[in-house]
Amino acid sequence: MALTVILEFLGGAEFLFGHVKHHTVSIEKGENKLNISQLLMWIKENLLQERLELFMQGCTVRPGILVLVNDVDWSLLGELTYEIEENDRITFISTLHGG
């Protein structure tokens, strides 16, 4: 079974993804559920084009990147453990010094 997810990379994070802000992707997950932790691994292997260290640190996103699920702060949703649903929109907003 495949899951359709809308991924958004903003605030500079798009530069790591070929300068593309919006991606609609289909992720094969079998019968299992997919949480954000697994999604990050999928992004790392399938979508990220450069400088992994600017996007991830260990198993999670680099501190300072704001993550929203359907415009809700992932901190309120269990962060890495949130189970993704069909057509969820997940937004990653990078923050840079200076702005």
Partner 1 sequence: MPLLCSICKDKRALLKRPKTGTPVCKDCFYWAFECEIHHTIQTANLFKRGEKVAIGASGGKDSTVLAYVLKTLNERYDYGLNLFLLSIDEGITGYRDDSLETVKRNQQQYDLPLKVLSYQDLYGWSMDAIVKQIGRKNNCTFCGVFRRQALDRGAMSLGVDKIATGHNADDVAETIIMNILRGDIARLQRCTAIITGDDPSGIPRVKPFKYTYEKEIVAYAYFKKLDYFSTECIYAPNAYRGHARAYLKDLEAIRSSTIIDIIHSGEMMSVKEGVKMPVQTKCKKCGYISSNEFCKACVLLEGLNKGLPRLGVGKTSKVNQQLKQVNDSKSCECQNKSTKCCLNNVPKTAPSSCPNRSKNCENHDAKFDSPSVKDNQMDKTTKICLTNSEIL
Positions touching partner 1 (CB under 8 A) are 10-12, 15, 62-64, 66, 68, 71-73, 75-76, 91, 93-99
Helices (H) and strands (E) in the chain, counts: 1, 7
Q: Which is nearer to partner 1, 14 or 29 (CB)?
A: 14
CB of 79 to partner 1, least distance (A): 10
User: What count of other Cβ atoms lies within 10 Å of the Cβ of residue 61?
Assistant: 21
Cα 38 from chain centroid?
A: 10
CB of 6 to partner 1, least distance (A): 15
